[in-house]
Amino acid sequence: MRLAVHAMLLCAGAISAQNLAEPAQIADLAKLLEPHIDEQRLRCTVKIVKPILDYAFRFEAGYSFQLPLNLYSGPGHTWTVIAEVTPQAGKGSPVYLFNPLDLLKVDKIGANMGAAGGYLLGEGSYNVKWLLLDDLGRACRKNWQIAADRKGRLVAMPPHTVSALSLSGPAQAQPYTDRGTPLRLTVLLDAAPLQVQPIGSELKDAEQSVLFNGLIGLLERLPTSSVRLILFNLELQRELLRRENFAFSDLDGVAAVLKGLELGVVRLDVLEKPKGHVDLLASLLNEEIRSPSPSDAVVFLGPQERYFDKVPYGALDARSGNQPRFFSIQFVPFPRWVRAPAPADGPLDTFGRVTPITTGDFDTISKLVRRLNGKAVQVRTADEFEKAIQAIELSQRQGSRRAGR
């Protein structure tokens, strides 16, 4: 199975998705991107975010900018950011993206304010024209060139293409072209924070993006005959979403669950069960162990957990016969690109520093997977994630050979 979808909104802070221009808007946007002799200059500092491969194996690139707070007084001010991204190869047509911003919703950084945005790229070189226009008619402009190159390794987007970032793009099936035996797959997506957060917070956009992209990347890289998807949260001690026969149309539901997850609500039933997270994990695993038609592979996908309990041996059913192989892939800490779009000169405490959940990889989930003779790994980059996925496929091929399939 392969999925072709746009990545979710990425990065911490006031990072926002760009809107893809409609054909009727292009002429006006192109005209605005050309400098005017009598235009007023807007003082701003622009930082280019170079392309970095995300966990859905698409290049994410963009910009961040800062302006002095004293440029504005009173409420009601707005910005419009416009970008023209043109592939250099062949006769590539420019792609126009724009983003309206309310100054009340942007980040304040000391005496400055700032925001950031981005887009998705296939491999290739691109020219970028960029404009920040405020409601007073002032303009800040910057042009640059960028190159996205993975040196022949697979990228999910076609070369020399540009797409907008969005919370959940249209899902389109693509044939899986790699050779391999399709496997029956269960994905246990751990919908939890990737970094230490204050009580009462929701999943940050960056955390939603990592989890969502990781799911896409896993399913696009593995040949599957069926997929069972289960979203869960140990802090809430409950299952959030289940799809027995995962389909492309279910991706929007996944995005909605991640976006709407509330971690600050402390329920009485959770307080009454201090080991309820252990019971939940045991229940999820026993369901896979008992299944009359077990999956070939069960993959935990998510962050490092903040739980370190040992699950009692009696809590898990005895394994017999044809049982799935178990894996855990943990994203820790944030991949490098999450910090890259920090507004220029922003304080590290606000934009650049990530406090991981743990300092080791022996949380409750990792311990369980190892006890089941499975493999638990941590990944920090797309390349490490790809190697972890390849290990799952290799294990499937070896298991098929042993079973004579």
Residue 264 burial class via C-beta count within 10 angstroms: exposed 0-12, middle 13-18, buried 19 and up: exposed
69 contacts 113 by C-beta, under 8 angstroms: yes
Give the pLDDT score at 333.
67
| pTM of structure | 0.83
- C-alpha span between 191 and 200 (Å, rounded): 15
Give the pLDDT score at 403.
57
- C-alpha span between 330 and 320 (Å, rounded): 27
3-state secondary structure 99-118: EEEEHHHCEEECCEEEEEEE
Tokens for 403, please give them.
């079973």
- C-alpha span between 304 and 302 (Å, rounded): 7
Match 């997977």 to its residue by tokens: 369
Cβ atoms within 10 Å of 241's Cβ, excluding its own: 16
Give the pLDDT score at 400.
61
Give the pLDDT score at 4.
26
| CA quadruple 391, 395, 401, 405: dihedral, nearest 10 | -110
209 contacts 8 by C-beta, under 8 angstroms: yes
Distances (CA, A) of 57 to 60, 189, 218, 394: 9, 18, 10, 20
Detail the DSSP E strand segments found in 88-223.
95-102, 107-109, 112-121, 124-134, 138-148, 162-164, 172-174, 183-190
- C-alpha span between 316 and 287 (Å, rounded): 10
Give the pLDDT score at 148.
94
Tokens for 351, please give them.
């934009």
Give the pLDDT score at 16.
56
Show the domains of the chain with their CATH numbers: 19-164 (2.60.40.1940), 172-403 (3.40.50)
- C-alpha span between 140 and 129 (Å, rounded): 11
Detail the DSSP E strand segments found in 22-77.
40-41, 45-53, 59-68
DSSP 3-state percent helix, strand, coil across the chain (nearest 5): 25, 35, 40
Distances (CA, A) of 243 to 230, 254, 288: 7, 10, 14
DSSP-assigned letters across all residues of 262-277: B-S---HHHHT-TTHH
Cβ atoms within 10 Å of 165's Cβ, excluding its own: 28
pLDDT tens, per residue, the chain with 405 residues: 333 222 222 233 334 567 888 889 999 999 999 998 888 999 999 999 899 898 989 899 999 899 998 898 888 889 999 999 999 987 778 999 998 888 877 777 778 888 888 899 999 999 999 999 999 999 999 999 999 998 877 888 889 999 887 655 434 434 355 666 788 999 999 999 887 655 457 788 878 888 998 999 999 889 888 999 999 999 889 999 999 999 777 888 998 999 888 887 677 777 778 888 999 999 999 999 988 888 999 999 999 888 888 888 888 888 776 789 999 999 986 543 333 333 333 333 333 344 455 545 578 999 999 999 999 999 988 999 999 999 998 887 776 655 555
Give the pLDDT score at 107.
72
